[in-house]
Amino acid sequence: MSAPIVLAILILISLASIVGDRTRVSRDDLPWWQGVLLEITVPFQEAVAIPAAFLGKTWRSYLDLVDLRAENDSLRISLSELKETNLQFREALVSSGHLDQIVDMRDDFEIPMLPSTVVGLDVNPFFRSILVDRGSEHGVLAGNPVITHEGVVGVVTRTSAHAAKTMLVLDRQSAVDAIVQRSRTRGIVQGRGSGQLAFQFEAQGGDVRAGDQILTSGLGGVYPKGLKLGEVAELTEAGGSLIQVAAVRAAVDFGRLEQVFLMLRRGPGMDLLYETGEFFDPSPAPVEEQVGTSDEDVVNAES
């Protein structure tokens, strides 16, 4: 006999046994033939129950994995949001630290200072300047010094209603009257168009060493006295020249310049230069100067 026929016979016998059990009211032992049938069918039932239990367990594990994946996706999104929030808090903390430092500087110089963000760089290789997001409507004038907590950045040369162009001390046109903090030797700090400055001083009687701090002298009518310009990196031999030159590392890290402070004062000398029209900004207005300004603002700046 084939296996399907045997299986069908066993099923019929099982059904008959079940019906017989339902109709019996006595609690005597099963008839011998039902006992034999029960002994035969139990292994078959176990063989069927084990795979069914395994499949059920596998299905429940799959559902758990689906739920776990959804939970992981949700946690991943929450982690990204927390990272973004943490980054914003760090930026706010850095800005707060800069503001605390500038408050101390305000106490030292007693000059109103306006925080501003760098929004543009001059792409012209012959001129070094930046564009900031504060202009004449905020009280900014051409000739206002621009600094950070590290030291001198430059001077405002042009303004529109909502922006101001600043010539950096790195620019070749920049010249700042300076003094050596240690020896009080005076000289002129000039831009080289690169990341360094040049300190020119009289060779005879000049006392300048590597590591000396160079500060603004307060003369020249642009910057107040005591602002840091940089540190002497090396000296060149004077030879027979009356003027000796020292290479100076700028105090400000211009490669990471993001926030600056505009000193809302203009020295008498700068007032005179601008009123008489003797001051001339040789660098062209950069394209970035139009950032954050209207066409009317740009026209006002150029006029």
Proportion of the chain above pLDDT 90, given as a percent: 37
Q: What's the half-sphere exposure (Cβ side, CA atoms, 13 Å) at 192?
A: 13
3-class DSSP string for the chain: CCHHHHHHHHHHHHHHHHHHHHHCCCCCCCCHHHHHHHHHHHHHHHHHHHHHHHHHHHHHHHHHHHHHHHHHHHHHHHHHHHHHHHHHHHHHHHHHHHHHHHHHHHHHHCCCEEEEEEEEECCCCCCCEEEECCCHHHCCCCCCEEECCCCEEEEEEEECCCCEEEEECCCCCCEEEEEECCCCCEEEEEECCCCEEEEEEECCCCCCCCCCEEEECCCCCCCCCCCEEEEEEEECCCCCCCEEEEEEEECCCHHHCCEEEEECCCCHHHHHHHHHCCCCCCCCCCHHHHCCCCHHHHHHHHC
266 band by pLDDT with thresholds 50, 70 and 90: confident
Question: For 110-160, what is each residue's pLDDT tens digit?
Answer: 788 898 999 998 867 678 999 999 999 999 999 999 999 899 999 999 999
- Mark whether 259 and 131 lie in a shared domain: yes
Whether the predicted pLDDT of 220 surpasses 60 = yes
Number of domains the chain is built from: 2
Q: 58, 88, 110: which is the final residue of a domain?
A: 110
**Which structural domain range is residue 55 located in?**
31-110
- Mark whether 208 and 278 lie in a shared domain: yes
Most confident of 2-6, 55-59, 139-143, 275-279: 139-143
Domain membership of residue 72 (yes or no) is yes
- Mark whether 78 and 132 lie in a shared domain: no
- Mark whether 79 and 157 lie in a shared domain: no
- Mark whether 91 and 126 lie in a shared domain: no
- Mark whether 198 and 300 lie in a shared domain: yes
Q: How many other C-beta atoms lie within 10 A of the C-beta of residue 269?
A: 14
- Mark whether 38 and 53 lie in a shared domain: yes
What Rg, from alpha-carbon coordinates, does the chain have? 42
Q: 87, 110, 133: which is the final residue of a domain?
A: 110
The pLDDT score that the predictor gives to residue 298 is: 32
The Cα–Cα gap between 71 and 74 comes to 5
CB 176 within 8 A of CB 192: no
Domain membership of residue 25 (yes or no) is no
